[in-house]
Amino acid sequence: MNNLLDGINETLLMGPGPSSVSPTIYSSISKTTIGHLDPKFIEIMDAIKAQLQILMGTQNELTIPISGTGSAGMETCFVNLIEKNDNVLILSNGVFGGRMIDVCQRLGANVDSLNQKWGHAITADMVKEKIANTNFDLIAIVHAETSTGVRNPIEDIAPLINATNALFVVDAVTSLGGLEIQMDDWGIDALYSGTQKCLSCPPGLSPVSFSQKALDKLMNRKTKVPNWYLDLSMIANYWSGKQRAYHHTAPINMVYALYQALYDIIEQNPKTVFQKHVDAHLYLLKKIEQLNLELLVEEKYRLPMLNAIKIPHGINDMEVREPLLNQYKIEIGGGLGDLAGHVWRIGLMGYTAQNKNIDRLFTSLKSLL
Ligand SMILES: Cc1ncc(COP(=O)(O)O)c(C=O)c1O
């Protein structure tokens, strides 16, 4: 019988995610599956909490991976922190800001948004003007907008939000493990990420952390969290405390993968890993200039791990991306929404962020352009 898995070839993942998985992580996934209440597994869960606290820059007790991809982390933050008619502000400049708006509207919140043109950052001045004389319960922003390659300066925006009563929620799906995050110093109340970007794991878990202020909101809700699977008040009983009450069966081998990913980053030193992303980005930039290509985003707000390159006039997006994948076994991303057909998105995330990969991509691109 034909086994479809035999047809999976090695492809270099240089798109917006998933990124290539490192060998140490592949070998962690193949370890024996043990029970989700096995003391050894609980030891690994506790270690992951401590590892995530380091990478997120927080002491938050409730720091755990949610079973599911990055969108599950997004949904976790909003279903736990929003009640019907809460006033919510989404700072949006791409697909994932747009997804936040959709999720919050489905929860019955009064959603307002500050919409910046795609490819441009949301600045502190824009936020200052928008929130003057308003009273939001929650304000959310994407740190690294994967759809455009923009880094929103959350460290500058944070003090403005901290001066209000609003909970501050940050999407760190693409930034965690690639950019510095100081959750406590920046007064972030809820943060979520994903395993398949700079952590270089397969997709499947979404690290989430809640501050005491976020926990207070959760514990004092007037209504039940409207989603059973993502209700943090129940999940927290499994991830911490003495009881370790069963909620759902943890995806054991994905948890091994996350443990290994965090172990590798912390052992290398997170600062070294962040610099590795910057170095790869600068190397890519040199190659881009050699081919007379241009980046979409202005220098100050460029992400190192996601580079949106303008497609030159006269070049058809798919006539390059298709042979790149089928002949050269390299995946890059296309543009989304208004940027479809106008940009390529090149990911330099985690294990992918190596000069030899950039060389391989540009040798292939050169022959295609
Ligand atoms: C910034 C951002 N937020 C949220 C998500 C959603 O994550 P997932 O596709 O893993 O559900 C993504 C995925 O690319 C992302 O880049």
2-37 pLDDT, tens digit per residue, is: 999 998 888 999 999 999 999 999 999 999 999 999
What pLDDT band is residue 149 in, cutting at 50, 70 and 90? Answer: very high
Of 173, 199, 200, best ligand 1 pocket probe by most atoms within 8 Å of the beta carbon = 173
Class for the domain spanning 23-266: alpha beta
- Residue whose CA lies nearest to ligand 1 atom number 5: 70
Query: Going by DSSP bridges, is the β-strand pair 110-115/87-92 parallel, antiparallel, or unpaired?
Result: parallel
pLDDT at 311 over 80: yes
pLDDT value, residue 222: 96
Cα 73 to averaged position of ligand 1 atoms, centre (Å): 9
Of 71, 192, 258, best ligand 1 pocket probe by most atoms within 8 Å of the beta carbon = 71
Cα 169 to averaged position of ligand 1 atoms, centre (Å): 15
Of 75, 174, 201, 307, best ligand 1 pocket probe by most atoms within 8 Å of the beta carbon = 174
**Residue 180 burial (10 A CB sphere; 0-12, 13-18, 19+):** exposed
Cα 212 to Cα 185: distance, rounded to the nearest angstrom:
14
Higher pLDDT, 83 or 239: 83
Cα 200 to averaged position of ligand 1 atoms, centre (Å): 14
pLDDT value, residue 240: 83
Check: CB of residue 171 under 8 Å from CB of residue 141: yes
Cα 73 to Cα 204: distance, rounded to the nearest angstrom:
11
Domain boundaries, the chain: 4-18+270-368, 23-266
pLDDT at 97 over 90: yes
pLDDT at 260 over 90: yes
The set of residues, in sequence order, having a beta carbon less than 8 Å from that of 69 and lying 6+ positions away, is 194, 195, 196, 203, 204, 205, 206
4-18+270-368 with 23-266: one CATH topology? no
Q: What is the pTM of this model?
A: 0.98
pLDDT value, residue 7: 81
- Residues with Cβ within 6 A of ligand 1? 16-17, 69-71, 74, 96, 142, 146, 171, 173-174, 194, 203
Judge: domain 4-18+270-368, CATH 3.90.1150.10.
yes
Say what percent of the chain tops pLDDT 70. Answer: 100
- Residue whose CA lies nearest to ligand 1 atom number 16: 146
Mean residue pLDDT across the chain: 97
Q: What is the CA radius of gyration of the chain?
A: 21
Which region among 14-18, 218-222, 240-244 has the lowest average model confidence (pLDDT)?
A: 240-244
pLDDT at 55 over 80: yes
